[in-house]
Amino acid sequence: MTDRSNFFAPRMSRFKPSPSQIATQRVRELVGQGKDIVKLTAGEPDFATPLHVKWAVMRSMDRDEARYTPINGTLEMRKAAQLKFKRDNGLDYGLDEICVGSGAKQVLFNVLMATVGAGDEVIIPGPYWASYPDMVQLAGGTPVFVDCPQNRGFRMAAEDLEDAITPETKWVMLCQPSNPAGVVYTKDELQAVADVLLRHPHVHIITDDVYEHLIFDDREFHTIAAVEPKLFDRTVTINSVSKAFSMTGWRVGYAGGPKDIIANTSKMQSQSTAGSSAMGQAAAIEALTGDQSFVRERTADLQHRRNILHAALNKADGLYCELPEGAMYCYCSCAGVIGKITPDGKRLETDTDFTMYLLDHAGVAVVQGAAYGLSPYFRASFVASTEDLIRGGERIQKACVELRD
């Protein structure tokens, strides 16, 4: 067999496979073995693509529009994104300040690859989406983590951001509602962050707003370039149709930002995937410009499911979970079970140990907090049926009772 131990590029050692994908693969293996697993790992809504979106795609297919698309998105798609930014966020982008990619993740990747090099630092508040630091490192940059502990509501304090900024800082990355903690920043909280950034004109901002519409308890969403217009020309605002419109598989994301950054982001895309899917963009255009009422209805459904899982987790011995303000996840502390002994005699040393105990002993799949930069926690998605949320909660409670000191 050919020896390829030194075959792969050094960049491949800079990042790890997605923890949620690893968890999903392990679940598939157990299900394939006939085991009953309650899956609380999903990072996508389980609603169907809206019917009016499906019909729009059918009409586009009838017009034989399944062709190559412009690198930065079709004119109609960029107009739809322009409309959405203005309507929902009060952000006024020119068409040459908007680009489209195969999902928000690709757009974010392209922005970082187009702007980050050796010696550049990117500030990432933690807990964070697991892909952020890997993408920064793949681009050659250095992730700089700012801890956002539970006693601060998983929010980044302005003084901590100030302390993290150096002359090498190129970007600060924001995500809210956040994955995994479901944090929604108030307007005043974002203004405090903006006030720090105004003192450092060399620092730019990437804001990942993909969970924008998944907000609970009548909270309001604010994005930083709208809160502080002086940061408009230093901010790239990224969004997609995946979460709010339950269109993860259509793979369409988009961004608004400074013309030169957007142009170089598209230039990066031109040598990878080229233009985003024609049918995906046809679907996204209808989603962004058509009826929006179903989004509120589905968010209300998710809030109900959140309440079920949140209550169940807080009934488990040794667990504590803050109430998520948005997104699709409970980020639950398992500090109270670390050090305890499982029924088969194993000591739980880490949150990874605990999540594997839940999977193998209780048949519940969640993702370890270590993947998101803050331990000991785990992420449990409430995108599951009410029945599964109840079953999963009961199984977790029973598994915790069965631990001993």
Q: What is the pLDDT of residue 4?
A: 86
**Is 51-291 in the same CATH topology as 10-48+294-401?**
no
Q: What is the pLDDT of residue 290?
A: 96
Contact 62, 229 (CB under 8 A): no
Euclidean distance between CA atoms 375 and 371, whole angstroms: 9
Q: What is the DSSP string of 312-340?
A: HHHTSTT-EEPPP-BTTEEEEE-GGGTT-
Residue 260: CB atoms within 10 Å: 12
Residue ranges per structural domain of the chain = 10-48+294-401, 51-291
Q: Which fold has domain 10-48+294-401?
A: Aspartate Aminotransferase, domain 1 (3.90.1150)
- Cα dihedral across residues 325, 373, 140, 243: positive or negative: negative
Digits of tens for pLDDT over the chain (405 positions)? 788 878 988 888 777 776 666 777 778 888 888 899 999 998 899 999 999 999 999 999 999 999 999 999 999 999 999 999 999 999 999 999 999 999 999 999 999 999 999 999 999 999 999 999 999 999 999 999 999 999 999 999 999 999 999 999 999 999 999 999 999 999 999 999 999 999 999 999 999 999 999 999 999 999 999 999 999 999 999 999 999 999 999 999 999 999 999 999 999 999 999 999 999 999 999 999 999 999 999 999 999 999 999 999 999 999 999 999 999 999 999 999 999 999 999 999 999 999 999 999 999 999 999 999 999 999 999 999 999 999 999 999 999 999 999
Q: Which residues contact 140 (CB under 8 A, 6 or more apart)?
A: 116, 117, 118, 120
List, in sequence order, every residue forming a beta bridge with 249; answer none if it has no partner. Answer: none
Contact 98, 262 (CB under 8 A): yes
Which CATH architecture fits 51-291?
A: 3-Layer(aba) Sandwich (3.40)
